Amino acid sequence: MKTITVLLAFFAITMAKKLEERFAWNVMEYDWPNSDVMEHYIKTGKYIKDNNLPLGLEVWGDKMFITVPRWKAGVASSLNYIDLNSKDKSPKLRPYPSWEANELPIEGDAPKLEDRIQTAAGRDHAAKPVAVGDGLKDNSTIISTFRVQADECNRLWVMDTGLADILGKPNQIAPPAIVVFDLKTDQLLRRYDIPKEQIKEDTFFANIVVESDADDCGNSFAYVPDLGSYGLVVYSLNENKSWRVKHNFFHFDPLNGDFNIGGVNFQWTDGLFALAIGDKKSDGTRDIWFHPLASTKEFVVSNKVLQNETHVTGLNYYYDFKLIGDRGLNGQSSAEVYDKKTQNIFYTQLNKDAIGCWNTNKEYRPDSAGLVDSDSNALIFPNDLKVDKNGNLWVLSDRLPNFIYKTLDNDDVNYRIMRGTTSEIIKGTPCEN
């Protein structure tokens, strides 16, 4: 009887720390301006409900940003938001910054080259001319984005791939670009096209991680991993310049490219994908942890190494990158984020339908890490996760393998956003301080 009581107490603790479902959708719908617009989008094929899959999320104020990449034709808007305080369990998406900015350009819409100049001024740096990418109506246009990040300076950073209908008839409408918006005014601050020489044959930019300081907003850096060609693009906002870094640690592990998720078996060769930025140390540096998606290993490098263009594009930087450990069998992960409050890194566990944690004060080993939640229904392919300023971990799961290789059942819940307080969900795990 005593054993049963102990087991019941254990399961009660386990259930108490699980992530809670905050939003859920069978299919993604939009908050249309009016019924005529909706009918037009449906009739012209601009909106095919089955083709709109949410992938990335971010939280700023009472907004939750949700990205919908243009995997297939019929995505109404790629960059969107919902009201975080909405009582609706399945709120409709609102395009950001506008419907117009998320419309795909029609051939002939783009202005002539001499007209493709728009001034974008940030409050921390002088106004500079910004060239509009080929095929765009204007700089605010978002073709297709996977991940976004809000920074310490109330700016939203968007990695726009410029590529539409990825799984159908791929159309590179515009060059891959970093797009920055002022979240207080919803106005464009900058659009920066990734230089051609930093784009390789199999390049695919699906993530962006930003390092910024509220006391020095101009001195910000964006890190953009290239999962297809195994590189990293580092962008300096102050210099309005980027450089490409290459390293063996950015490649996928050929022994960890096999996935079994939601009843789907497939093989991926995705390289560098996830990054997390740590606290500032006494010497002013920060650790940047990273890993390829098709891998179980974790690595680290100093931000000052990546920010030194001359050094990191030279010959003698290899040993500045360090292997810190391994997540173990089936430990492949699509995203990670550092939580200042608990000094933990939270990361997705794709093959385990789970969310993992690692206390950065401990060694990186399978037995020193933990799972804060695992659910073979609600967490099928946890794709992205973020920690907000209030210490909440937000997780988006979207059954992506079924979407790509099979079909999704519209009578079932396919997309979820889960939430948990970081200090609570690590209780009872090796990640607890």
- Spatial separation of the C-alpha atoms in residues 304 and 302, rounded to whole Å: 5
> DSSP code of 362?
S
CATH 2.120.10.30 is the classification of domain 1-21+247-433: yes
pLDDT, tens only, 149-160: 999 999 999 999
- Supply the pLDDT for residue 106: 73
Place of tokens 């005593």: 2
In the chain, CATH 2.120.10.30 covers: 1-21+247-433, 31-246
- Supply the pLDDT for residue 18: 86
Question: What is the pTM for the complete model shown?
Answer: 0.91
Place of tokens 């002939």: 108
**Cross-strand partners of 243:** 234
**Options 3.40.50.1110, 2.60.120.10, 2.120.10.30, 3.30.70.600; CATH of 31-246:** 2.120.10.30
Greatest alpha-carbon pair distance for the chain in Å reads: 82
Output the CA angle 189-288-128, nearest 5 degrees. Answer: 20
pLDDT, tens only, 87-135: 999 999 999 999 999 999 875 444 433 333 333 333 233 333 333 345 6
- Supply the pLDDT for residue 138: 86
Distances (CA, A) of 176 to 117, 125, 191, 296, 399: 17, 23, 10, 28, 26
- Spatial separation of the C-alpha atoms in residues 308 and 62, rounded to whole Å: 36
Place of tokens 């969310």: 355
97 cis-preceded (ω within 30 degrees of 0):
yes
**Number of C-beta neighbours around residue 197 at 10 A:** 8
Q: Rounded to 5 degrees, what are φ and ψ at 12?
A: -65, -40
- DSSP assignments along 33-85, one per residue: SSHHHHHHHHHTTS--GGG-----EEEETTEEEEE---SSS--S-SEEEEETT
Distances (CA, A) of 68 to 14, 55, 80, 206, 332: 33, 6, 8, 12, 23
Per-residue pLDDT of the chain (433 residues; tens, 9 = 90+): 444 444 433 443 444 458 999 999 999 999 999 999 999 999 999 999 999 999 999 999 999 999 999 999 999 999 999 999 999 999 999 999 999 999 998 754 444 333 333 333 332 333 333 333 456 878 999 999 999 999 999 999 999 999 999 999 999 999 999 999 999 999 999 999 999 999 999 999 999 999 999 999 999 999 999 999 999 999 999 999 999 999 999 999 999 999 999 999 999 999 999 999 999 999 999 999 999 999 999 999 999 999 999 999 999 999 999 999 999 999 999 999 999 999 999 999 999 999 999 999 999 999 999 999 999 999 999 999 999 999 999 999 999 999 999 999 999 999 999 999 999 999 999 999 8
